[in-house]
């Protein structure tokens, strides 16, 4: 979901960008106009997400998935190993890709619990020589989210924050690299935003094909090849929208408000809506729950859709229901959902 004001501004300016007689998406990415937007977007990202000066911010194609392979290709050198904390589908995919490249140790795997919880610090035993520790801060499908970031004994963390990027302040000092696909909280699909700590960046291999070289993308300010200019433009507008409503602090307040509303509806339903996820692992972005039977779940999704509540079906790999409450979801949207949940329970409970 994108903020309505952003979509409206895009539609207003799409054909003729600010009186230039041309659409922004027709312009060269070397054009001064796009260059200004690009640099402003990086600056906005740094400001809104409070990214310290010792981090590079780059935009890369291939989404978050491409980073699953690109990170180990650059940072997992011969004879080295990396630690993986596998908390769900996305942690598993990142681990599998790294294992193709080198030694990827899954030091914790939530498989036995069906990926329904985040591990506690004491369950994590890091290899002191690991090149980095990979984690996924929010498992979009399982609906579980880290509410702390682990102490690794100084090993840089590589974090996939695709589905909770810009939804909270993060302790930047713990990270070597953070990446996030743009299509949840930032813009349409088409890019990953990659934040790389400057010292960590110097460890990246440079003897790789060009697109795999972080050093090259950093040096070329993400313009080594043609970027999807539309995605950068929409991200620019989304960042301005966050600023306009009060920044990250306001995003955090709204996020808590919205997530609490849905979890309260689940918790007070007396088991009609069920979540097996313990409170300290519950995602504030993707709220998942089940009902007594698949038949009832299907009915819920169908009737909700008729009320204009779209996309509540859980991911096909896990079933059940999922409400994704990304940044742009208005409180009224969540209110409509919890009202529907109460109404549906009354009729079917
Ligand atoms: N990581 C997470 C946490 C995700 O939610 C997703 C997509 N849903 C991905 C990675 C893959 O992202 P992409 O489709 O941009 O490659």
Q: What whole-number distance in Å separates Cα of residue 96 and Cα of residue 111? A: 14
pLDDT digits (tens, 9 = 90+) for 167-219: 999 999 999 999 999 999 999 999 999 999 999 999 999 999 999 999 999 99
Q: What is the b/e burial string over 76-94, where b = at least 16 CB atoms within 10 angstroms of the residue's CB?
A: beeeebbbbbbbbbbbbbb
Distance 44 CA to ligand 1 centre (A): 23
pLDDT digits (tens, 9 = 90+) for 98-156: 999 999 999 999 999 999 999 999 999 999 999 999 999 999 999 999 999 999 999 99
- Phi, psi (rounded to 5 degrees) for 171: -80, 85
Q: How many domains does the chain have?
A: 2
Same structural domain for residues 270 and 199?
A: no
pLDDT digits (tens, 9 = 90+) for 269-299: 999 999 989 999 999 999 999 999 999 999 9
Residue 328 sits in a domain whose CATH number is: 3.90.1150.10
What does 207-227 look like in DSSP terms, one character per residue?
SS-GGG-HHHHHHTTT-SS--
Same structural domain for residues 110 and 201?
A: yes
Q: Is the beta carbon of 63 within 6 A of some atom in ligand 1?
A: yes
Same structural domain for residues 284 and 209?
A: no
Same structural domain for residues 239 and 261?
A: no
Residue 33 sits in a domain whose CATH number is: 3.40.640.10
Single out the catalytic residue among 174, 184, 258, 284.
184
The domain boundary residue, chosen from 196, 211, 244: 244
* Domain, as residue range, for 171: 4-244
90 is catalytic: yes
C-alpha distance from residue 167 to each of 131, 137, 248, 253, 318 (Å): 27, 11, 7, 10, 25
Q: Is the beta carbon of 91 within 6 A of some atom in ligand 1?
A: no
Distance 232 CA to ligand 1 centre (A): 18
- The number of angstroms, rounded, from the C-alpha of 48 to the middle of its chain's C-alpha atoms is 16
The residue whose C-alpha atom lies closest to atom 9 belonging to ligand 1 is 64
Same structural domain for residues 257 and 343?
A: yes
Q: What whole-number distance in Å separates Cα of residue 273 and Cα of residue 44? A: 40
Q: What whole-number distance in Å separates Cα of residue 222 and Cα of residue 306? A: 43
Same structural domain for residues 53 and 39?
A: yes
Same structural domain for residues 234 and 272?
A: no
What average pLDDT does the structure give for the chain?
Answer: 97
C-alpha distance from residue 149 to each of 135, 136, 154, 251 (Å): 9, 10, 12, 19
Same structural domain for residues 291 and 240?
A: no
160 is catalytic: yes
Q: Is the beta carbon of 181 within 6 A of some atom in ligand 1?
A: yes
Nearest ligand 1 atom to the CA of 189 is 15
Q: Is the beta carbon of 87 within 6 A of some atom in ligand 1?
A: no
Q: What is the pTM of this model?
A: 0.97
Same structural domain for residues 227 and 271?
A: no
Same structural domain for residues 240 and 341?
A: no
Please state the length of the chain: 349
Same structural domain for residues 233 and 298?
A: no
Distance 17 CA to ligand 1 centre (A): 31
The residue whose C-alpha atom lies closest to atom 10 belonging to ligand 1 is 64
Same structural domain for residues 147 and 31?
A: yes
The domain boundary residue, chosen from 189, 218, 244: 244
Decide if pLDDT at 349 tops 90. Answer: no
Give the bridge partners for 90, in sequence order. none
């Amino acid at each position: 979901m994108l903020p309505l004001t952003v979509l409206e501004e895009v539609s207003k300016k799409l054909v003729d960008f600010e009186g230039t007689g041309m659409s922004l998406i027709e312009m060269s990415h070397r054009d001064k106009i796009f260059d200004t937007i690009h640099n402003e977007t990086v600056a906005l990202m740094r400001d809104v997400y409070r990214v310290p000066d010792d981090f590079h911010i780059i935009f890369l194609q291939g989404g978050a998935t491409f980073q699953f392979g690109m990170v180990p290709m650059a940072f997992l050198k011969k004879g080295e190993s990396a630690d993986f904390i596998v908390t769900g589908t996305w942690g598993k995919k990142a681990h599998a890709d790294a294992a193709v490249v080198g030694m990827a140790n899954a030091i914790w795997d939530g498989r036995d619990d069906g990926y329904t919880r985040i591990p506690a610090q004491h369950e994590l035993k890091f290899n002191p020589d690991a090149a980095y520790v990979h984690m996924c801060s929010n498992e979009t499908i399982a609906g579980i989210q880290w509410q702390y970031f682990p102490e690794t004994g100084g090993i840089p963390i590589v974090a996939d924050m695709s589905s909770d990027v810009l939804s909270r302040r993060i302790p930047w000092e713990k990270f070597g690299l953070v990446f996030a696909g743009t299509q949840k909280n930032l813009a349409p699909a088409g890019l990953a935003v990659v934040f790389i700590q400057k010292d960590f960046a110097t460890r990246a291999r440079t003897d790789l094909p060009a697109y795999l070289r972080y050093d090259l993308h950093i040096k070329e300010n993400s313009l080594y090849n043609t970027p999807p200019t539309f995605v950068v433009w929409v991200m620019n507008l989304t960042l301005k929208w966050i600023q306009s409503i009060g920044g990250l602090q306001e995003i955090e307040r709204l996020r808590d408000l919205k997530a609490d509303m849905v979890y309260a509806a689940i918790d007070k339903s007396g088991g009609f809506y069920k979540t097996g996820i313990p409170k300290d692992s519950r995602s504030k972005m993707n709220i998942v729950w089940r009902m007594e039977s698949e038949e009832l779940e299907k009915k819920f999704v169908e009737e909700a859709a008729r009320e204009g509540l779209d996309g509540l079906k859980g991911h096909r790999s896990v079933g059940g229901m999922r409400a994704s409450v990304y940044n742009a979801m208005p409180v009224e949207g969540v209110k409509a959902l919890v009202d529907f949940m109460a109404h549906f329970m009354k009729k079917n409970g």
